[in-house]
Amino acid sequence: MTLLPSVPTPRKLGLVIDLDVCVGCHACVISCKEWNTGGYGAALSDQDPYGADVSGTFLNRIHTFEVVPEGGQVIGEAGEARIVHFPKSCLHCEDAPCVTVCPTGASYKRAEDGIVLVDESKCIGCGLCAWSCAYGAREMDLAAGVMKKCTLCVDRIYNETLKEVDRVPSCVRTCPANARHFGDLADPGSEVSRMVAERGGFDLMPEQGTRPTNKYLPPRARKPLAASAGAAVLAENTDGAKGFFAWLDGMLDRI
Amino acid sequence: MHPAPSIILFTTLSGLGYGLAAVLGLGLLDASGLSVKVAHLAALAMIAGGLLSSTLHLGNPQRAWRALSQWWSSWLSREGVMAILTFVPLTISAWFAVVEGGYQPVAGLVGAAMCGITVYCTAMIYASLRSIQAWNTGFTPLCYLLFAGAGGFLLASVAGYASGAGGTVCAVIAALFVVAAWLAKHQWWTRLRALAPLSTPESATGLGNIGRVRLFERPHINDNYLTREMGFKVARKHALKLSRLAILAGGAMPIVLLIVAIVAGGGAVAVIAAMLAVLLYALGLAVERWLFFAEARHAVMNYYGG
């Protein structure tokens, strides 16, 4: 059924990703691939895995961007630019175009929690849903010929055979920097909703009209490089040294 | 967008086929002529061939029948349903022409209308995608419809001249459609080239309030499904030149050949001129369709530095 739920879903399960904290280690990429290649649906295949032209299906990828403020210089020249590591997986949009374009009913959004899933037994592998997604959240598995996407680890989060601490998506559980958070964004009192409110969490490409569930937290403001310049200069400068260090400075000058 | 040969072949062939079937359904030609009977069969063959080639790019073609189920939300599903339903009046029309040697107006007119609706559904598959701004315009279905009409009247003029009746009427209307189609396409291109991107690396990352955003490192060194499918760049370099070639081959030259056919008024000269016009038009259309994909930029490329 490729109609979107007619009323807002009572729960909006999703991720909050903290761009201030992500260190770009790609651990979530690997743990996602590992969990999901043996979990929901067909395995995540690789093509030419040991050759020069290796590629494969991933549901979560880390891009790295350089942001140059007005008047700043690119990072290669040690200026004001900053590097932001940017994890990206399905945003489980409220107005998900990937759902409504599906001709077979394979692509659907769950009415109870808003998770967008693919029923692989119905997917014909036409690729139209991947075209409709502005975020690149869907990748065709070339071995299985069906569309793969983030399931929000639907086979973990409700899985009572796992310990409670493990009932979160694999990427969230594995992140060593705690940059990824999982929760119900429909509940204003949830930890993720509070983070979004406090830190000014935002949507990606709001102009696409997809109303993503996942939110991103902006990098915190950083003091300009010039404000930290004193520390670097101090290493060459002994002005203002006192006591033992002033004596040592003087002695060493005389030798 | 990657221009997959199977999709280019599908939209070009089925567009010509639906155009021809619609024109035959209008009853402008004498259905007792041998060339008109052949035209009926050729239209069905082009439509069927186009549909078959469109299933070639599916990952699981054995489940293609499921694509008929979601017509209330999906333009691709609507296209599939309409394509199959349209075979009914077209087959009845072809039966009357080939076996009875006559024209069946009800099946003909209903079939013509359904051909138009099917082509519209095909165009809307592309035009409805907000993620691909180049396609997301009412000009897209307008171009598809006018190109199908132009191709249909061009092919019908060959059949008309070959059967000795109705060729000139079709040739005159074909010339008008060819002009209208390329004018609409020219507008489509003008819009595309003046387009300010809806999404940018700044809006894609939400980091625009800090400064200008540039990709520093891709998620991986090699290509993936997304960059292969949506990161096609080869043709953009030559896009302007190719679009002019398409207009020359698919627009200007067919017009000249149609004028030759109209002036000749019939006979071998008119048949050959109309046939050449069809071939050149098909070539121009294939280039146009290739550019349709190759020139279209997908919003996801904001994450891949393209």
Asked if the structure places residue B216 within a domain, the reply is no
Residue B215 lies in a domain: no
Domain count, chain A: 1
Q: How many A×B Cβ pairs under 8 Å? A: 200
Residue B226: domain span? 5-208+222-303
Interface of B with A in 13-32 (CB under 8 A): none
Q: Which residues contact B166 (CB under 8 A, 6 or more apart)?
A: B28, B29, B30, B156, B160
CATH of the domain at A152: 3.30.70.20
Buried b (16+ CB within 10 A) or exposed e, B245-255: bbbebbbebbb
DSSP class of B138:
T
If we measure between CA atoms, which residue out of A64, A57, A53 comes closest to residue B219? A64
Dist CA B199 CA A133 (whole Å): 13
CB B39 within 8 A of CB B159: yes
Instruction: Please choose, from the candidates B72, B53, B73, the residue with its C-alpha nearest in 3D space to the C-alpha of residue B64.
Output: B53
Is residue A103 in some structural domain? Answer: yes
- Asked if B299 and A146 come within 8 Å (Cβ–Cβ), the reply is no
Structural Rg of chain B based on CA atoms? 21
Q: Do B224 and A58 touch (CB under 8 A)?
A: yes
Cβ-based contacts of B219 with chain A (< 8 Å): 29, 58, 61-63
B positions 70-109 inside 8 Å of A (CB):
70, 72-77, 80
Report pLDDT for A68: 87
Is residue A175 a part of any domain in this protein?
yes
The interface predicted TM-score (ipTM) is 0.93
In 3D, which of B177, B147, B230, B205 has the Cα closest to residue A219? B205
Residue A78 CA from chain centroid, whole number:
27
**CA-to-CA separations, A21 to A6, A85, A217, B198, in angstroms, rounded:** 36, 9, 9, 29
Residue B38 pLDDT: 95
User: H-type helices in chain A, by residue range?
Assistant: 27-37, 97-100, 128-132, 154-157, 170-174, 191-199, 229-234, 243-254
Domain-embedded: residue B264: yes
Give the mutation candidate from A32, A108, A128 for the B interface (greatest B CB count, under 10 A): A128
Number of domains composing chain B: 1
Buried/exposed A75-90: b ≥16 CB within 10 Å, e otherwise:
beeeebbbebbbbbbb
Residue A80: what pLDDT? Answer: 74
Is there a domain that residue A98 lies in? Answer: yes
In a domain, A254, yes or no: no
Report the alpha-carbon distance of residue A173 to residue B294 in Å, rounded: 41
Say if strands A13-18 and A215-217 run parallel, antiparallel, or are unpaired: parallel
Per-residue confidence (pLDDT) for residue A225, from 0 to 100: 65
Q: Reduced to 3 states, what is the DSSP secondary structure of residue B207?
A: coil
C-alpha angle B140-B145-B146 in degrees, rounded to nearest 5: 100
Domain CATH code at residue B174:
1.20.1630.10
* Cα B15 to Cα A138, B9, B51, B151, distances in angstroms: 30, 10, 11, 8
Give the integer Cα–Cα distance in Å for A182 and A167: 10
DSSP secondary structure of B216-252: EE-SSSS--HHHHHH---GGGGGHHHHHHHHHIIIII
Q: Closest by alpha carbon to A136, among B210, B219, B74?
A: B219
| Helices B267-294 and B253-264, packing angle to 10 deg | 160
The total of other beta-carbon atoms located within 10 Å of residue A230's CB is 9
In this structure, is the dihedral angle defined by the CA atoms of residues B209, B212, B217 and B218, taken in order, positive or negative? positive
**Strands (DSSP E) found in chain B:** 212-217
Among B129, B207, B222, the residue with its CB nearest the CB of A131 is B129
Q: Using alpha carbons only, how large is chain A's radius of gyration in Å? A: 24
| Domain housing A44 | 13-228
* In a domain? residue A92: yes
pLDDT computed for residue B94 by the predictor:
96
In this complex, the residue of A54, A140, A219 whose CB is nearest that of residue B225 is A140
In this structure, the number of other CB atoms found within 10 A of the CB of residue A134 comes to 31
Residues of A in contact with B201 (CB under 8 A): 65
Cα–Cα separations (whole angstroms), residue A58 to A89, A183, A240, B228: 9, 22, 56, 14
Structure confidence by residue, pLDDT tens digits, B183-221: 999 999 999 999 999 999 999 999 999 889 999 999 998
Residue of B nearest to A72 (CA): B211
For residue A108, what is the enclosing H or E element? strand A107-109
pLDDT of residue B264: 93
Residue B235 is predicted with a pLDDT of 61
Inter-chain contact B216–A66, Cβ cutoff 8 Å? yes
Q: A127 contacts in B (CB within 8 Å)?
A: 57, 59, 229
| Tokens (6 digits) for B276 | 């050449």
- Integer Cα distance of A53 and A198 in angstroms: 44
For residues B209 and A19, give the distance between their C-alpha atoms in angstroms, rounded to a whole number.
14
Give me A19's structure tokens: 């761009």
pLDDT of A250 reads 87
- Predicted pLDDT at A79: 62
State the Cα–Cα distance between residues A130 and A147, nearest whole angstrom.
8
State the 10-residue block means of pLDDT for chain A, 255 residues long: 84 97 96 94 94 94 91 61 94 97 96 96 96 97 96 96 96 97 97 97 97 96 68 63 87 88
pLDDT under 70: residue ranges of chain B: 234-236
Q: What pLDDT is attached to residue A72?
A: 67
Task: Give me the residues paired with residue A14 across strands.
Answer: A183
A205 Cβ under 8 Å from any chain B Cβ: yes
A157 domain-assigned: yes
Residue B217 belongs to some domain of the structure: no
Across the interface, which of A2, A134, A139 has its CB nearest the CB of B225?
A139
> Distance between the two ends of chain B, CA-based, in angstroms?
12
Structural contact between residues A87 and A28, judged by C-beta atoms closer than 8 angstroms: yes
Residues from chain A that touch B226, judged by Cβ atoms under 8 A, are 130, 136, 139
Residue B224 touches chain A, beta carbons under 8 Å: yes
Is position A190 within any domain? Answer: yes
List the 133-152 stretch of A: residues with Cβ below 8 A of B.
133-136, 139-142, 144-147
Q: Scan residues 56-95 of A and list those with Cβ closer than 8 Å to B.
A: 56-58, 61-70, 72, 74-75, 81-84, 86, 88
Q: Residue A238: inside a domain, yes or no?
A: no
